[in-house]
Structure 1
Amino acid sequence: MKQPTLFLPHGGGPCFFLDEDGPVPPEWRPMGDFLARVIADLPERPKAILIVSGHWEEPHFTVHNGERPELLYDYGGFPDHTYALRWDAPGAPALAHRAAALLEAAGFPTATEGDRGWDHGVFIPMKVAVPEADIPTVQLSLRRDLDPAAHIAAGRALAPLRDEGVLIVGSGMSFHNMRLRDGSVQEAADAFDAALTAAVTDPDPAARDASLAAWEKLPHARLAHPREEHLLPLMVAAGAASDDPGAHIFRDRVIGWTVSGYRFG
């Protein structure tokens, strides 16, 4: 069955696991509850996941093709136990090869590698969404030039994977300005979120993609994203949606920001 595509907020560092033996901290609980429902809300359990995180950039789109990726604890200042978290899902080398071939066929110079661990933009949300770690997973990098149109086009190239039972996930944050976490930008964050959501849910896919490619024109865009690496996974998810509509499926306020999640198809 054809899978949708998703853009998921992945929180801040290991935010869902700050208490070694306790529940998700209250501020992060709505997001954690949302992520925990993501797989159950799909038309069927995916055969594999291809995930793009805001924490991996390469000169060219690069696909991780390892069989048993390690974890990259690319956060700092958190409790010791968060550097021993595990999410041991298998890699999917055949899917990695297929994804790279689709990108190359679309004209993108593409690389593969098998040594880099999954960063926290992968294993933290996936540990909540797929706690059994039983769905083979492949990570795709961002392209370092952060060109939104190129990331939409890359997603479009990967769209055939959806018909093969692969769930394409963009993992980032719809608002991401680490200097502003005191609630002082709430009004601006609301305005950016409303404009971004209007772009994502535009019923005309061509207009949607054009608006996302021109995201810097949205109100308070550079306040929301001084650097857009956490927004570009959305572009890949939107591109992979092809003509399927976008829907707003999550909104919450965390650390002074309004944060949303989206589904296409």
Structure 2
Amino acid sequence: MTQRLPTYFISHGGGPWPWLDDWRQMLQGLERSLADMPRQIGSKPKAVLMISGHWEEDSFAVMSSPKPPMVYDYYGFPKYTYDIVYPAPGDPALAREVADLIAAAGLPTRLDPTRGFDHGTFAPLAIMYPQADMPVIQVALKGNLDPAEHLALGRALTPLRDQGVLIVGSGFSFHNLRLMGPQGAAPSAAFDGWLQETVVAAKPSAREAGLIAWEKAPSARLAHPREEHLLPLMVAAGAAQGDRASCVYHENTVFGAITASSFRFDAAA
């Protein structure tokens, strides 16, 4: 029997940061946390399922290409960063299984045979699994960004954890590009404090209610003027169901002053 895998919500950094020396230096703590994930997980996953804050559709959608292309969804970076390739294969059979699980939960979904890896997927995976030797698929956020629906998506995906599929919500615990500097220090710290209380300290039975009401958190809309980078947390927490959470990455010097965190959900956490 395959051991049940944990789920994760990761703060994934910015743009093609692993290929930029100055950004990589700034994000050393994040890099260490991502590089440590294979050790934490133990056995090599059968596949990785990523929910990135950089893919939204009118319904949930599942990447189904056997050889996903690249999506360079960033602007103003050096030319070579538009030639990056993360050559992991897709898995059409797994994509169909994922879509069936989502549909069985009464949620709208479809297969997408053309979608490729965006930087919310390929940048952290380049650190986590640089060999790119296991299948990777993405699932799109639903564009209404409803937290309850994304928690339900996570619950629908839970059986995959027992099949060796690693579920990773890839976003950022603070995502206000206008406050990425000293002016973001206070709101990012306030919102992160709420995350630590709601995700880690609270009982799992109370966690979902807290996440659904995230807009009531301190500095919520300063931390997330639009919540697409927070919703992957809902999916990871939904897939965790009753598992406890731990904080596996936390620092307050990102982009000079921003507090950011990542979380692991595991029965042993």
* Offset, 1:24: 6.2
Unaligned ranges ≥5, structure 2? none
Report deviation, 1:47.
Answer: 0.7
Q: Show the counterpart of 1:254.
A: 254
Q: Which amino acid aligns with 2:258?
A: W
What letter corresponds to residue 57 of structure 2 in structure 1?
A: E
CA distance in 2, matches of 1:42, 1:9: 18
User: Could you tell me whether the CA contact under 8 Å between 2:154 and 2:237 is conserved in 1?
Assistant: yes
> Aligned-pair distance for 1:43?
3.3
Matched, 1:233 2:235: no
User: 2:136 is matched by which residue type in structure 1?
Assistant: T
Any residues of structure 2 matched to 1:168-247 within 5 Å, and which?
168-247=167-246
Residue number among 6, 9, 12 corresponding to 1:7 in the alignment: 9
Distance 1:64 1:3, change over 3 A: same
Equivalence for 2:48: 49
Q: Identity, % of aligned pairs?
A: 50
1:16, 1:29 within 8 Å by CA — same for their partners in 2?
Answer: no
Q: Secondary structure at the match of 1:179?
A: helix
Q: Does 1:96 align with 2:95?
A: yes
Distance in 2 between the 1:78 and 1:191 partners? 31
Q: Is the 8 A contact 2:102 2:156 kept in 1?
A: yes
Q: How does 1:66-77 map to 2 (within 5 A)?
A: 66-77=65-76
For residues 184 and 163 of structure 1, the distance between their equivalents in structure 2, rounded to whole angstroms, comes to: 43
| Range 199-208 or range 46-55, more displaced | 199-208
Cα distance in 2 between the residues matched to 1:16 and 1:146: 28
Match of 2:109 in 1: 110
1:18 matched to 2:17: no
RMSD: 1.2
Structure 1 Cα separation of the partners of residues 138 and 181 of structure 2: 32
Structure 1: unaligned runs, 5 residues or longer:
none
The worse-fitting range, judged by mean Cα deviation, of 133-142 and 187-196 is 187-196
Matches within 5 A, 1:20-39: 25-39=24-38
Deviation at 1:194, TM superposition (A): 0.9
Residues 175 and 189, structure 1, Cα contact 8 Å, conserved in 2: yes
Deviations 1:118-161 (A, max 9, x none): 11111111111110001211100000000001000110011000
Could you say which residue in structure 2 is the equivalent of 1:131? Answer: 130
Runs of 4+ off more than 6 Å: none
More helix by share: 2
Partner in structure 2 of residue 154 of structure 1 = 153
Structure 2 length as normaliser, TM-score? 0.95
Give the Cα separation in 2 of the matches to 1:6 and 1:201. 13
